[in-house]
Structure 1
Amino acid sequence: MGIILEINGFKYFAPLSSFKPKHKRLCETIDFIKVGIYAVINLNNMFPAPLNLCKAVQIENIKNEHYRNLVRAKYRIIKQKTEQIVNNAKDVYNHKMINDGKSKLSQRCNDFRNLELKCKEYSDKKK
């Protein structure tokens, strides 16, 4: 589960990670966003994904009530933080493209340039 962002003409998937005890003591950074006490988003791990391979979660179709409520809680917080998430994602992306390997942030980011190339190759092959 994660969120879809538009960056550089690509749909980027930013996965949610489960909230762990260590996340309580960590502060949010440009590439690390807390989704309450439920999850975190590590924007350095985002990657381009063809939209046809992404599936929207239909919250009302989740049978387990506890899990459905958990997903609703995450969704509400993500909606509140949408602007921060989008702006941070673009900043992380631009930082990686400019400083590739020259900073700690760029070193822990996925190779967006290569992933975009592979995503385009995959999409072109499927046409």
Structure 2
Amino acid sequence: MKELLFYAVNREYIKYLSMYDEHVSYNKDDIGHSRPYLGIVLEIKCYRYFVPLYSYKEHYEKYKNNPSFFFIYDRKRRPLAIIKFSAMIPIPMKMNVMNILNYSEQDKNYRNLISAEYRFVNSNKEEIYKRANKMYVAVTQHKNNFLKTIACNFKLLEEKAREYKNI
């Protein structure tokens, strides 16, 4: 299986999709501080999907059994981040809306965090693919009403992704 890389998505594209779906996560800049909207890209059905990573917050513990979340741990099994499948968005195949994150531009602590997340993600990529596909099917084929209420409307966003490249 192919190595999973981290990407930062073009803010204009995220802003565009967020106009059509309230579940699209939009990375708002903190005053004087801007971190990239980081995620992985998976192929799901006929689309590339950007699946965002979120910094770990203690209140995420209550979501451990929620299929829309996948926890990322360091080597000591401390939570570092989550992958949020319900917020994944389609990326047009022939469109350059993302760039591989340049780790050298980040401070040392952030680079170390990203490196630990990267190791964990790539050692669990089969499970990540499995869960992403399961989320996609559950939402698009109406197999789980709860997930449908918390997830992006994948079919609508696929349509908007096709339209975006024509704008």
CA distance in 2, matches of 1:54, 1:28: 31
CA distance in 2, matches of 1:63, 1:98: 40
Report if aligned partners of 1:47, 1:115 keep a CA contact under 8 Å in 2: yes
The CA RMSD over aligned residues, in Å, is: 1.7
Of residues 59, 73, 78, the one that matches 2:121 is 78
Equivalent residues, number: 123
Of residues 85, 109, 125, the one that matches 1:66 is 109
Report if aligned partners of 2:63, 2:69 keep a CA contact under 8 Å in 1: no
Query: Can you list the C-alpha shifts for 1:53-82, whole angstroms capped at 9, x where unaligned?
Result: 1111133x2341111111100100111111
Q: Which runs of 5+ in 1 are unaligned?
A: none
CA distance in 1, matches of 2:164, 2:62: 40
CA distance in 1, matches of 2:159, 2:62: 37
Counterpart amino acid of 1:81? Answer: N
Of residues 122, 131, 134, the one that matches 1:91 is 134
1:2 is the counterpart of 2:46: no
Cα distance change on mapping 1:80 and 1:28 into 2, 3 Å: farther
1:109 is the counterpart of 2:146: no
1:45 is the counterpart of 2:67: no
| Alpha-carbon offset, residue 28 of structure 1 | 4.1
CA distance in 1, matches of 2:142, 2:149: 9
Of residues 100, 105, 124, the one that matches 1:56 is 100
Report if aligned partners of 1:28, 1:34 keep a CA contact under 8 Å in 2: no
CA distance in 2, matches of 1:31, 1:25: 12
CA distance in 1, matches of 2:122, 2:147: 25
The DSSP-based 3-state class of the residue aligned with 2:64 is coil
Cα distance change on mapping 1:34 and 1:28 into 2, 3 Å: farther
Q: TM-score, normalised by structure 2?
A: 0.68
Counterpart amino acid of 1:73? Answer: A
More helix by share: 1
